[in-house]
Structure 1
Protein backbone atom coordinates (compact mmCIF):
# COMPACT_ATOMS: atom_id res chain seq x y z
CA UNK A 1 0.00 0.00 0.00
CA UNK A 2 1.47 3.37 -0.96
CA UNK A 3 2.62 5.73 1.80
CA UNK A 4 -0.29 7.87 2.94
CA UNK A 5 -2.91 5.63 1.33
CA UNK A 6 -3.44 3.72 4.57
CA UNK A 7 -4.40 6.92 6.40
CA UNK A 8 -6.93 7.75 3.69
CA UNK A 9 -8.31 4.22 3.79
CA UNK A 10 -8.77 4.30 7.56
CA UNK A 11 -10.38 7.72 7.30
CA UNK A 12 -12.88 6.48 4.71
CA UNK A 13 -13.67 3.45 6.85
CA UNK A 14 -14.31 5.59 9.93
CA UNK A 15 -16.47 8.02 7.94
CA UNK A 16 -18.64 5.18 6.65
CA UNK A 17 -18.99 3.61 10.09
CA UNK A 18 -19.87 6.90 11.78
CA UNK A 19 -22.41 7.78 9.08
CA UNK A 20 -24.02 4.34 9.26
CA UNK A 21 -24.36 4.65 13.03
CA UNK A 22 -25.41 8.33 12.95
CA UNK A 23 -22.52 9.02 15.31
CA UNK A 24 -20.54 12.24 15.50
CA UNK A 25 -16.79 12.47 16.06
CA UNK A 26 -17.54 14.08 19.42
CA UNK A 27 -19.64 11.09 20.46
CA UNK A 28 -16.94 8.70 19.27
CA UNK A 29 -14.48 10.73 21.34
CA UNK A 30 -16.64 10.33 24.45
CA UNK A 31 -16.99 6.58 23.95
CA UNK A 32 -13.35 5.89 23.16
CA UNK A 33 -11.73 8.53 25.39
CA UNK A 34 -9.75 9.71 22.37
CA UNK A 35 -9.54 13.47 21.89
CA UNK A 36 -11.91 14.77 19.18
CA UNK A 37 -9.06 16.64 17.49
CA UNK A 38 -7.05 13.41 17.31
CA UNK A 39 -9.98 11.54 15.75
CA UNK A 40 -10.43 14.35 13.22
CA UNK A 41 -6.76 14.23 12.25
CA UNK A 42 -6.91 10.45 11.84
CA UNK A 43 -10.04 10.67 9.68
CA UNK A 44 -8.51 13.40 7.53
CA UNK A 45 -5.29 11.44 7.05
CA UNK A 46 -3.15 13.92 8.99
CA UNK A 47 -2.18 11.48 11.73
CA UNK A 48 -1.47 7.76 11.80
CA UNK A 49 -3.59 5.86 14.30
CA UNK A 50 -1.68 3.83 16.87
CA UNK A 51 -2.67 0.36 18.06
CA UNK A 52 -4.49 1.73 21.10
CA UNK A 53 -6.59 3.99 18.89
CA UNK A 54 -7.52 1.06 16.65
CA UNK A 55 -8.44 -1.17 19.58
CA UNK A 56 -10.75 1.49 20.99
CA UNK A 57 -12.37 2.12 17.59
CA UNK A 58 -12.97 -1.61 17.17
CA UNK A 59 -14.51 -1.99 20.62
CA UNK A 60 -16.70 1.07 20.28
CA UNK A 61 -17.91 0.48 16.71
CA UNK A 62 -18.31 -3.28 16.98
CA UNK A 63 -16.01 -4.09 14.05
CA UNK A 64 -13.24 -6.75 14.15
CA UNK A 65 -9.87 -5.25 15.04
CA UNK A 66 -8.37 -6.91 11.96
CA UNK A 67 -10.37 -4.53 9.77
CA UNK A 68 -8.84 -1.47 11.37
CA UNK A 69 -5.35 -3.00 11.28
CA UNK A 70 -5.58 -3.52 7.51
CA UNK A 71 -7.19 -0.14 6.86
CA UNK A 72 -4.43 1.56 8.88
CA UNK A 73 -1.74 -0.20 6.84
CA UNK A 74 -0.37 -2.49 9.53
CA UNK A 75 1.17 -5.73 8.17
CA UNK A 76 -1.29 -8.61 8.04
CA UNK A 77 -0.93 -12.23 7.01
CA UNK A 78 -1.62 -12.49 3.30
CA UNK A 79 -2.60 -16.15 3.47
CA UNK A 80 -5.85 -16.93 5.24
CA UNK A 81 -8.25 -19.84 5.13
CA UNK A 82 -11.26 -19.60 2.87
CA UNK A 83 -13.55 -19.53 5.91
CA UNK A 84 -11.69 -16.53 7.36
CA UNK A 85 -11.82 -14.75 4.03
CA UNK A 86 -15.53 -15.42 3.73
CA UNK A 87 -16.15 -14.03 7.21
CA UNK A 88 -14.16 -10.94 6.32
CA UNK A 89 -16.15 -10.35 3.15
CA UNK A 90 -19.41 -10.87 5.05
CA UNK A 91 -18.30 -8.32 7.60
CA UNK A 92 -17.51 -5.75 4.93
CA UNK A 93 -20.91 -6.24 3.35
CA UNK A 94 -22.53 -5.57 6.72
CA UNK A 95 -20.80 -2.21 7.11
CA UNK A 96 -23.40 -0.43 5.02
CA UNK A 97 -26.96 -1.12 3.91
CA UNK A 98 -26.48 -2.83 0.55
CA UNK A 99 -29.69 -4.80 -0.04
CA UNK A 100 -30.64 -2.91 -3.19
CA UNK A 101 -27.06 -2.89 -4.43
CA UNK A 102 -26.77 -6.66 -4.05
CA UNK A 103 -29.61 -7.05 -6.55
CA UNK A 104 -27.84 -4.72 -8.98
CA UNK A 105 -24.60 -6.67 -8.55
CA UNK A 106 -26.46 -9.92 -9.22
CA UNK A 107 -27.90 -8.50 -12.45
CA UNK A 108 -24.51 -7.29 -13.64
CA UNK A 109 -22.89 -10.59 -12.73
CA UNK A 110 -25.43 -12.44 -14.85
CA UNK A 111 -24.51 -10.26 -17.85
CA UNK A 112 -20.79 -10.73 -17.25
CA UNK A 113 -21.23 -14.50 -16.92
CA UNK A 114 -22.64 -14.60 -20.46
CA UNK A 115 -19.89 -12.34 -21.76
CA UNK A 116 -17.16 -14.44 -20.12
CA UNK A 117 -18.23 -17.38 -22.28
CA UNK A 118 -17.40 -15.49 -25.46
CA UNK A 119 -13.92 -15.42 -26.98
CA UNK A 120 -13.73 -11.66 -26.45
CA UNK A 121 -14.82 -11.88 -22.82
CA UNK A 122 -12.39 -14.68 -22.02
CA UNK A 123 -9.54 -12.78 -23.67
CA UNK A 124 -10.37 -9.67 -21.65
CA UNK A 125 -10.06 -11.65 -18.42
CA UNK A 126 -6.77 -13.28 -19.37
CA UNK A 127 -5.21 -10.08 -20.69
CA UNK A 128 -6.47 -7.48 -18.21
CA UNK A 129 -6.63 -9.22 -14.82
CA UNK A 130 -2.97 -8.70 -13.87
CA UNK A 131 -3.13 -5.04 -14.83
CA UNK A 132 -6.23 -4.51 -12.71
CA UNK A 133 -4.55 -6.27 -9.80
CA UNK A 134 -1.57 -3.91 -9.99
CA UNK A 135 -3.82 -0.85 -10.14
CA UNK A 136 -5.61 -1.92 -6.95
CA UNK A 137 -2.25 -2.12 -5.21
CA UNK A 138 -3.47 -3.96 -2.11
CA UNK A 139 -3.49 -7.35 -0.48
CA UNK A 140 -6.00 -9.16 1.65
CA UNK A 141 -8.66 -11.87 1.63
CA UNK A 142 -10.59 -10.44 -1.33
CA UNK A 143 -7.48 -10.11 -3.49
CA UNK A 144 -6.38 -13.62 -2.57
CA UNK A 145 -9.81 -14.95 -3.58
CA UNK A 146 -9.66 -13.07 -6.89
CA UNK A 147 -6.24 -14.60 -7.62
CA UNK A 148 -7.59 -18.05 -6.78
CA UNK A 149 -10.59 -17.59 -9.09
CA UNK A 150 -8.34 -16.29 -11.87
CA UNK A 151 -6.09 -19.35 -11.63
CA UNK A 152 -9.12 -21.64 -11.88
CA UNK A 153 -10.39 -19.72 -14.91
CA UNK A 154 -6.97 -19.60 -16.58
CA UNK A 155 -6.41 -23.32 -16.09
CA UNK A 156 -10.06 -24.13 -16.95
CA UNK A 157 -10.55 -25.98 -13.67
CA UNK A 158 -14.30 -26.43 -13.46
CA UNK A 159 -17.43 -27.19 -15.41
CA UNK A 160 -18.56 -24.73 -18.11
CA UNK A 161 -21.20 -23.40 -15.71
CA UNK A 162 -18.66 -22.95 -12.90
CA UNK A 163 -16.20 -21.21 -15.23
CA UNK A 164 -18.99 -18.87 -16.36
CA UNK A 165 -19.69 -17.94 -12.73
CA UNK A 166 -15.98 -17.37 -12.10
CA UNK A 167 -15.59 -15.41 -15.32
CA UNK A 168 -18.49 -13.17 -14.35
CA UNK A 169 -16.86 -12.29 -11.02
CA UNK A 170 -13.50 -11.63 -12.69
CA UNK A 171 -15.04 -9.35 -15.31
CA UNK A 172 -16.93 -7.50 -12.59
CA UNK A 173 -13.59 -6.91 -10.87
CA UNK A 174 -11.90 -5.80 -14.09
CA UNK A 175 -14.59 -3.64 -15.68
CA UNK A 176 -15.16 -0.21 -14.04
CA UNK A 177 -18.94 -0.53 -13.69
CA UNK A 178 -19.52 -0.29 -9.93
CA UNK A 179 -23.08 -0.70 -8.68
CA UNK A 180 -22.45 1.35 -5.56
CA UNK A 181 -20.01 4.12 -4.56
CA UNK A 182 -16.38 3.09 -4.21
CA UNK A 183 -15.78 2.94 -0.48
CA UNK A 184 -12.16 1.81 -0.62
CA UNK A 185 -11.07 -0.61 2.08
CA UNK A 186 -7.78 -2.40 2.53
CA UNK A 187 -9.01 -5.32 0.45
CA UNK A 188 -10.63 -3.49 -2.40
CA UNK A 189 -14.10 -2.27 -3.25
CA UNK A 190 -17.26 -3.14 -1.39
CA UNK A 191 -19.31 -4.20 -4.42
CA UNK A 192 -16.42 -6.32 -5.70
CA UNK A 193 -16.48 -8.09 -2.33
CA UNK A 194 -20.22 -8.66 -2.72
CA UNK A 195 -19.68 -10.00 -6.26
CA UNK A 196 -17.08 -12.48 -5.01
CA UNK A 197 -19.31 -13.52 -2.13
CA UNK A 198 -22.24 -14.17 -4.47
CA UNK A 199 -20.01 -16.17 -6.83
CA UNK A 200 -18.36 -18.30 -4.16
CA UNK A 201 -21.77 -19.00 -2.60
CA UNK A 202 -23.10 -20.13 -5.98
CA UNK A 203 -20.02 -22.32 -6.52
CA UNK A 204 -20.42 -23.89 -3.07
CA UNK A 205 -23.94 -24.96 -3.99
CA UNK A 206 -22.74 -26.86 -7.07
Structure 2
Protein backbone atom coordinates (compact mmCIF):
# COMPACT_ATOMS: atom_id res chain seq x y z
CA UNK A 1 0.00 0.00 0.00
CA UNK A 2 1.54 3.33 -1.06
CA UNK A 3 1.17 6.56 0.90
CA UNK A 4 -1.78 7.91 -1.07
CA UNK A 5 -3.57 4.60 -0.54
CA UNK A 6 -2.93 4.94 3.19
CA UNK A 7 -4.73 8.28 3.23
CA UNK A 8 -7.56 6.91 1.10
CA UNK A 9 -8.02 4.00 3.50
CA UNK A 10 -7.88 6.35 6.48
CA UNK A 11 -10.71 8.46 5.05
CA UNK A 12 -12.81 5.39 4.27
CA UNK A 13 -12.26 4.01 7.78
CA UNK A 14 -13.24 7.34 9.34
CA UNK A 15 -16.43 7.51 7.28
CA UNK A 16 -17.34 3.95 8.25
CA UNK A 17 -16.55 4.54 11.92
CA UNK A 18 -18.68 7.70 11.98
CA UNK A 19 -21.38 6.11 9.82
CA UNK A 20 -21.36 9.06 7.44
CA UNK A 21 -22.06 9.45 3.76
CA UNK A 22 -19.43 11.10 1.58
CA UNK A 23 -21.42 14.32 1.36
CA UNK A 24 -21.93 14.55 5.11
CA UNK A 25 -18.29 13.70 5.84
CA UNK A 26 -17.12 16.35 3.36
CA UNK A 27 -19.01 18.99 5.34
CA UNK A 28 -17.40 17.83 8.58
CA UNK A 29 -13.88 18.11 7.16
CA UNK A 30 -14.68 21.23 5.07
CA UNK A 31 -13.51 19.68 1.78
CA UNK A 32 -15.71 19.78 -1.32
CA UNK A 33 -17.37 16.38 -1.70
CA UNK A 34 -16.34 16.06 -5.37
CA UNK A 35 -12.71 16.77 -4.43
CA UNK A 36 -12.88 14.34 -1.54
CA UNK A 37 -14.33 11.66 -3.82
CA UNK A 38 -11.42 12.09 -6.26
CA UNK A 39 -8.89 11.83 -3.41
CA UNK A 40 -10.54 8.65 -2.14
CA UNK A 41 -10.56 7.13 -5.62
CA UNK A 42 -6.96 8.04 -6.37
CA UNK A 43 -7.90 10.49 -9.11
CA UNK A 44 -6.45 13.45 -7.24
CA UNK A 45 -3.60 13.84 -4.77
CA UNK A 46 -4.42 15.51 -1.47
CA UNK A 47 -2.53 18.75 -0.92
CA UNK A 48 -1.26 20.18 2.37
CA UNK A 49 -4.40 22.27 2.80
CA UNK A 50 -6.57 19.13 2.58
CA UNK A 51 -4.33 17.38 5.09
CA UNK A 52 -4.54 20.33 7.49
CA UNK A 53 -8.35 20.36 7.28
CA UNK A 54 -8.54 16.63 7.98
CA UNK A 55 -6.17 17.02 10.92
CA UNK A 56 -8.06 19.94 12.45
CA UNK A 57 -11.59 18.63 11.95
CA UNK A 58 -10.87 15.04 13.04
CA UNK A 59 -8.28 15.85 15.74
CA UNK A 60 -5.71 13.57 14.10
CA UNK A 61 -1.96 14.17 14.21
CA UNK A 62 -0.94 16.40 11.28
CA UNK A 63 2.43 14.70 10.74
CA UNK A 64 0.78 11.27 10.55
CA UNK A 65 -1.64 12.47 7.87
CA UNK A 66 1.13 14.35 6.08
CA UNK A 67 3.13 11.16 5.69
CA UNK A 68 -0.01 9.18 4.76
CA UNK A 69 -0.62 11.67 1.95
CA UNK A 70 2.86 11.04 0.55
CA UNK A 71 4.63 14.20 1.68
CA UNK A 72 6.93 12.23 3.99
CA UNK A 73 7.25 15.19 6.34
CA UNK A 74 8.88 17.37 3.66
CA UNK A 75 7.38 20.61 4.95
CA UNK A 76 8.24 19.83 8.54
CA UNK A 77 11.76 18.74 7.59
CA UNK A 78 12.42 21.97 5.71
CA UNK A 79 11.38 24.12 8.67
CA UNK A 80 13.30 21.92 11.10
CA UNK A 81 16.47 22.21 8.99
CA UNK A 82 16.03 25.98 8.95
CA UNK A 83 15.81 26.01 12.74
CA UNK A 84 18.99 23.93 12.95
CA UNK A 85 20.69 26.51 10.72
CA UNK A 86 19.50 29.32 13.03
CA UNK A 87 21.04 27.58 16.03
CA UNK A 88 24.31 27.01 14.16
CA UNK A 89 24.61 30.73 13.45
CA UNK A 90 24.05 31.48 17.12
CA UNK A 91 26.58 28.87 18.25
CA UNK A 92 29.18 30.20 15.80
CA UNK A 93 28.71 33.83 16.88
CA UNK A 94 28.20 33.41 20.63
CA UNK A 95 29.15 31.13 23.52
CA UNK A 96 25.63 29.66 23.71
CA UNK A 97 25.76 25.90 23.31
CA UNK A 98 22.25 24.87 24.37
CA UNK A 99 20.43 22.84 21.72
CA UNK A 100 16.73 23.70 21.45
CA UNK A 101 14.61 21.19 19.56
CA UNK A 102 12.11 22.03 16.85
CA UNK A 103 9.53 20.33 19.07
CA UNK A 104 10.24 23.00 21.69
CA UNK A 105 9.58 25.67 19.05
CA UNK A 106 6.16 24.19 18.35
CA UNK A 107 5.42 23.98 22.08
CA UNK A 108 6.21 27.70 22.37
CA UNK A 109 3.86 28.49 19.49
CA UNK A 110 1.06 26.44 21.07
CA UNK A 111 1.51 28.23 24.40
CA UNK A 112 1.46 31.70 22.89
CA UNK A 113 -1.54 30.83 20.69
CA UNK A 114 -3.51 30.18 23.86
CA UNK A 115 -2.20 33.30 25.58
CA UNK A 116 -2.92 35.59 22.63
CA UNK A 117 -6.60 34.57 22.83
CA UNK A 118 -6.95 35.89 26.39
CA UNK A 119 -7.89 39.46 27.33
CA UNK A 120 -4.49 39.85 28.97
CA UNK A 121 -2.68 38.64 25.86
CA UNK A 122 -4.61 40.89 23.51
CA UNK A 123 -4.02 43.89 25.78
CA UNK A 124 -0.30 43.12 25.90
CA UNK A 125 -0.07 43.06 22.11
CA UNK A 126 -1.94 46.35 21.76
CA UNK A 127 0.04 48.16 24.46
CA UNK A 128 3.57 46.83 23.89
CA UNK A 129 4.02 46.08 20.19
CA UNK A 130 4.98 49.57 19.06
CA UNK A 131 7.45 49.93 21.91
CA UNK A 132 9.15 46.64 21.10
CA UNK A 133 9.45 47.58 17.43
CA UNK A 134 11.09 50.86 18.43
CA UNK A 135 13.34 49.09 20.94
CA UNK A 136 14.71 46.66 18.37
CA UNK A 137 15.08 49.33 15.67
CA UNK A 138 14.00 46.66 13.23
CA UNK A 139 14.00 47.34 9.50
CA UNK A 140 13.43 45.27 6.41
CA UNK A 141 11.11 42.47 5.40
CA UNK A 142 10.92 40.84 8.86
CA UNK A 143 9.74 44.03 10.56
CA UNK A 144 7.25 44.72 7.79
CA UNK A 145 5.83 41.21 8.22
CA UNK A 146 5.37 41.85 11.94
CA UNK A 147 3.67 45.18 11.29
CA UNK A 148 1.39 43.51 8.75
CA UNK A 149 0.51 40.86 11.33
CA UNK A 150 -0.16 43.52 13.94
CA UNK A 151 -2.61 45.38 11.67
CA UNK A 152 -4.33 42.09 10.86
CA UNK A 153 -4.63 41.28 14.56
CA UNK A 154 -5.90 44.59 15.92
CA UNK A 155 -8.45 44.89 13.12
CA UNK A 156 -9.86 41.46 14.06
CA UNK A 157 -9.54 40.11 10.53
CA UNK A 158 -9.85 36.47 9.54
CA UNK A 159 -10.97 33.50 11.59
CA UNK A 160 -10.37 32.79 15.26
CA UNK A 161 -7.71 30.26 14.25
CA UNK A 162 -5.81 32.76 12.11
CA UNK A 163 -6.09 35.41 14.85
CA UNK A 164 -4.55 33.01 17.38
CA UNK A 165 -1.72 32.08 15.02
CA UNK A 166 -0.89 35.70 14.27
CA UNK A 167 -1.27 36.58 17.95
CA UNK A 168 1.24 33.87 18.84
CA UNK A 169 3.88 35.43 16.61
CA UNK A 170 3.24 38.90 18.04
CA UNK A 171 3.34 37.74 21.66
CA UNK A 172 6.52 35.79 20.99
CA UNK A 173 8.12 38.92 19.55
CA UNK A 174 7.06 41.02 22.55
CA UNK A 175 7.96 38.82 25.52
CA UNK A 176 11.46 38.68 26.95
CA UNK A 177 11.58 34.88 27.41
CA UNK A 178 12.65 34.13 23.84
CA UNK A 179 14.38 30.86 22.98
CA UNK A 180 17.36 33.02 22.05
CA UNK A 181 17.82 36.16 24.21
CA UNK A 182 17.20 39.54 22.60
CA UNK A 183 20.35 41.03 24.15
CA UNK A 184 22.23 39.20 21.38
CA UNK A 185 20.84 41.59 18.76
CA UNK A 186 20.68 41.05 15.87
CA UNK A 187 21.35 37.36 16.52
CA UNK A 188 18.72 37.34 19.25
CA UNK A 189 16.03 38.22 16.73
CA UNK A 190 16.71 35.18 14.56
CA UNK A 191 14.29 32.98 16.48
CA UNK A 192 11.64 35.72 16.36
CA UNK A 193 12.04 35.89 12.59
CA UNK A 194 11.90 32.10 12.35
CA UNK A 195 8.65 31.97 14.37
CA UNK A 196 7.14 34.55 12.02
CA UNK A 197 8.04 32.39 9.01
CA UNK A 198 6.56 29.27 10.64
CA UNK A 199 3.30 31.13 11.34
CA UNK A 200 3.16 32.53 7.81
CA UNK A 201 3.70 29.00 6.43
CA UNK A 202 0.80 27.68 8.50
CA UNK A 203 -1.43 30.54 7.34
CA UNK A 204 -0.44 29.84 3.73
CA UNK A 205 -1.35 26.18 4.21
CA UNK A 206 -4.79 27.39 5.29
CA UNK A 207 -5.02 29.68 2.23
CA UNK A 208 -5.17 32.69 4.57
CA UNK A 209 -3.73 35.92 3.22
CA UNK A 210 -2.87 38.79 5.56
Q: Is the 8 A contact 1:113 1:164 kept in 2?
A: yes
Aligned to 2:133: 133
Counterpart-to-counterpart distance in 2, 1:191 and 1:115: 19
Give TM-score, length-normalised by structure 2: 0.50
5 Å matches for 1:166-181? Answer: 166-181=166-181
Aligned to 2:186: 185
Q: Is the 8 A contact 2:86 2:190 kept in 1?
A: no
CA root-mean-square deviation: 2.5
5 Å matches for 1:1-206? Answer: 94-97=85-88, 100-182=100-182, 183-185=184-186, 189-206=189-206
Per-residue deviation at 1:204? 0.6
In the alignment, structure 1 segments of 5+ residues that lack a partner are: 1-89
Higher relative contact order (CA 8 A, sep 6+): 1
Q: Is the 8 A contact 2:180 2:189 kept in 1?
A: no
Runs of 4+ deviating beyond 6 Å: 90-93
Moved more, 177-186 or 109-118: 177-186
Per-residue deviation at 1:108? 1.1
Query: Residues 120-165 of structure 1: CA distance to partner in whole angstroms, max 9, x if unpaired?
Result: 1111101110011110012011111000000000111110000000
Give TM-score, length-normalised by structure 1: 0.51
Per-residue deviation at 1:197? 1.1
In the alignment, structure 2 segments of 5+ residues that lack a partner are: 1-80, 91-98
Counterpart-to-counterpart distance in 2, 1:138 and 1:122: 22
Aligned length: 116
